[in-house]
Structure 1
Amino acid sequence: MEPTALAQAQDIAAGLLAQVGADQLQAPTPCAEWNVGQLIDHMVGTQNWARAAIDGVELTDTGDGASADDFRARYADAAAACLAAFQADGALERTVDPGFGEMPAAALLGIATTDTFTHAWDLATALDLDNDLDPELAELLLDNAHRAIPPSFRTEDGSIFRAEQDAPAGANAATRLAAYLGRTV
């Protein structure tokens, strides 16, 4: 996977964030533990987390409270810094520790891209917008998820991933990815 995939996912997320109204921040999302505002906080935090891991620095902005702020600008800034970190010379050849053990930076790129894209799907679904997000990217991420997520990552409490859910017949690729990652679709 290349940083261009992350950029695509970030652009999709930014486009959806542009459509969020203040009156929607308390709305539920497919992530049962988060409302729209909390999901936005997590989306900002994920960009900061991945950038910190690539740069080998301590995470100082977890995204908490982003939705109470100018969350569009906070997301744009965090996403730009994250993408720049992955695009830096030699970044994908590094070994990084994002907080749960060392891994190749290229693997972290896959995690960050999948997280960004899937939470964009969560946001689109929560806002009742079209969630057929970039079918080609969705297929790439679904294929990657099938190879990268072992059964041991699926937990009852969903602390990593919930059990795979059934996607309706004819579901778009983004919805099938969400179901694979444990969303009820």
Structure 2
Amino acid sequence: MSGFDPRPLLGKALDQMGELITTTDDSQRDLPTPCADYTVSQLIDHIQAVVRRIGAVLSGQPFWSVPQSIESTDWPADWAEGRAATDAVLADDAILTREVQVPWGQSDGAAAAASYIGELAVHAWDLAAATGRSERLDPELAAAALPAYRAKVPAEPRGGDIPFGPVVEIGDDAGPYEKVVAWTGRDPQFAA
């Protein structure tokens, strides 16, 4: 990872997620998502935590210092607040080499930041698929996330400590988002 700066791609992933959150209609809050544990509202609560967790982890705090979900009563305002705090952390070049604690152990900041591109890309697909907006997704983000998912998340076993369902079989002609969500155990054909 020497010399790799994931912040431009992470910024694109954050922009994409922000656009999806701020344009999700409140009437969609109870729709199911491809992430079986979450409705649209619950997924957004989780993402509100993720944006804050990125900043916390990269500033040197433990990942568990931010809960898995943060109840959001104003999706756009809460996103803007979390994003601003994380952007302030991302502006510091020192984060790239800082040793940080992530769920899988110790990592340098560049690798930790890169891992969040994948989490944001997959959850963006979850939200977009649940609300009928998959065409808005940037395939570059899914293509960037797939190699890391394949390297860090084994095809087997799944479940328990590996919080993903079984890999979903797809055709060789599948697009980047279909490939990455299938690897994370989601059905690329999901329809709300």
TM-score by length of 2: 0.83
CA displacement 1:23-49 (0-9 Å, x = unmatched): 111100000010001100111101111
* Superposition deviation, residue 61 in structure 1: 6.1
Report matched runs for 1:80-91 at 5 Å.
80-91=84-95
Gaps in structure 1 of 5+ consecutive residues: none
- Determine whether 1:52 maps to 2:56: yes
CA displacement 1:35-92 (0-9 Å, x = unmatched): 00110011110111121111123635654211xx111121122123223323312111
Gaps in structure 2 of 5+ consecutive residues: none
The root-mean-square deviation of aligned C-alpha atoms, in Å, is 2.2
- The partner residue of 2:30 within 26, 40, 64 is 26
Contact kept, 8 Å, 2:143 with 2:176, in 1: the verdict is: yes
TM-score by length of 1: 0.86
What residue is the counterpart of 2:71 in the other structure?
Answer: 65
What residue is the counterpart of 1:43 in the other structure?
Answer: 47
- Determine whether 1:177 maps to 2:183: no
**Residue-pair matches, total:** 182
Secondary structure (helix, strand or coil) at the match of 1:144 reads helix
**How much identity, in percent, do the aligned residues show?**
28
Report matched runs for 1:5-154 at 5 Å.
5-57=9-61, 59=65, 63-66=69-72, 69-131=73-135, 133-151=137-155, 154=157
CA displacement 1:101-123 (0-9 Å, x = unmatched): 21221221122111111111100
Change in CA separation of 1:62 and 1:158 when aligned onto 2, cut-off 3 Å: closer
Contact kept, 8 Å, 1:47 with 1:112, in 2: the verdict is: no
Change in CA separation of 1:91 and 1:47 when aligned onto 2, cut-off 3 Å: same
Contact kept, 8 Å, 1:121 with 1:175, in 2: the verdict is: no
Contact kept, 8 Å, 2:115 with 2:148, in 1: the verdict is: no
